[in-house]
């Protein structure tokens, strides 16, 4: 009985440890299991079953669009949009970014289009992909609390106290990975047109991806808190709320950045 009880206790401990590890990964945003390299499952199948297996999807020869052509197509589609609705339709119809194939929704924007402050984030996460709105997960809830502390809200009908929020990428990257340079280059014309149509007084970039999209530079931890210009407008880089959730000590610097934004608007 003693040995059996000890074995049962070990099994329970292992189960609890596995459950704790799984919970930690879910909190960290891991909801898909991806390998470092693609695996050809048909090649791994027994020879007797390969003939019955369904054929793998193969990209037709010449179907891959060169980067220059994809960026040119994005530039043409974005420049033709005269309103936000037309820009939303142009994004939804854009077929050259493969991220769209794995995303549930096209996440366009949220907030008051007449806002003085436009927040530019990185890319949708799981919750954003499900709801079709930017910054609605844990990071988005923190963002709302941060800007509410200086009197700004995406729900405010008053342009003076309103926020407008969008992302560089309208589609969720698999596994919440960082967007690749080609993907950012394709979306840059849409981002530039989006900002031109909103015409905000200030652009706040949150994270490395929007910093790279608007300035060509990385290094958000070094750039944060330093006012600069982008697309002819004042731009304030800030750390992403997801970073603040992982590094609570950085909230002090984020608060200083919020106060700088408040002073600038005043």
Each residue's pLDDT expressed in tens, for the chain with a length of 266 residues: 555 555 555 665 676 777 766 666 665 556 555 555 555 555 654 544 443 333 333 333 334 556 678 999 999 999 999 999 999 999 999 999 999 988 999 999 999 999 999 999 999 999 999 999 999 999 999 999 999 999 999 999 999 999 999 999 999 999 889 999 999 999 999 999 999 999 999 999 999 999 999 999 999 999 999 999 999 999 999 999 999 999 999 999 999 999 999 999 99
Give pTM, 2 decimals: 0.75
Number of H-type helices and E-type strands within the chain: 13, 6
Q: Which of 243, 259, 25 is nearest to 138 (CA)?
A: 243
Kindly report the number of other CB atoms within 10 A of residue 264's CB atom.
14
**Domain regions of the chain by residue span:** 67-265
| Chain mean position to CA 76 | 24
8 A C-beta contact, residue 178 and residue 209 = yes
Q: What is the 3-state secondary structure (H, E, C) of 32-54?
A: CCCCCCCCCHHHHCCHHHHCCCC
The contacts of residue 251 (CB under 8 Å, 6+ apart) are 244
Q: What is the 3-state secondary structure (H, E, C) of 50-100?
A: HCCCCCCCCCCCCCCCCHHHHHHHHHHHHHCCCCHHHHHHHHHHCCCCCHH
Tokens matching residue 173: 């990257």
Q: Which CATH number fits domain 67-265: 3.90.79.10, 3.60.20.10, 3.40.50.1240, 3.40.470.10?
A: 3.40.470.10
């Amino acid at each position: 009985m003693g040995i059996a009880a000890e074995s049962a206790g070990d099994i329970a401990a292992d189960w609890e440890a596995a459950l704790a590890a799984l919970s930690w990964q879910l909190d960290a945003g891991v909801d898909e299991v991806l390998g470092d390299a693609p695996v050809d499952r048909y090649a791994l199948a027994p020879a007797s079953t390969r003939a019955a297996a369904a054929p793998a999807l193969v990209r037709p020869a010449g179907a891959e669009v060169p980067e220059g052509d994809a960026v040119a197509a994005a530039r043409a589609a974005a420049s033709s949009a005269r309103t936000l609705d037309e820009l939303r339709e142009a994004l939804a119809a854009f077929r050259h970014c493969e991220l769209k194939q794995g995303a549930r929704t096209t996440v366009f924007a949220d907030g008051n289009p007449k806002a003085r402050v436009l927040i530019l984030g990185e890319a949708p996460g799981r919750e954003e992909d499900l709801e079709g709105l930017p910054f609605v997960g844990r990071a988005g809830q923190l963002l709302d609390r941060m800007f509410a502390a200086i009197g700004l809200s995406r729900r405010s009908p008053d342009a003076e106290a309103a926020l407008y929020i969008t992302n560089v990428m309208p589609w969720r990257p698999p596994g919440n990975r960082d967007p690749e340079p080609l993907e950012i280059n394709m979306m840059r014309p849409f981002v530039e047109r989006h900002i031109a149509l909103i015409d905000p007084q200030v652009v706040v970039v949150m994270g490395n991806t929007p910093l790279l999209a608007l300035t060509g530079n990385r290094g958000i931890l070094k750039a944060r808190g330093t006012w600069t210009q982008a697309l002819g407008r004042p731009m304030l880089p800030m750390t992403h709320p997801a970073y603040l959730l992982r590094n609570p000590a950085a909230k002090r610097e984020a608060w200083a950045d919020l106060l700088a934004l408040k002073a600038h608007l005043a």
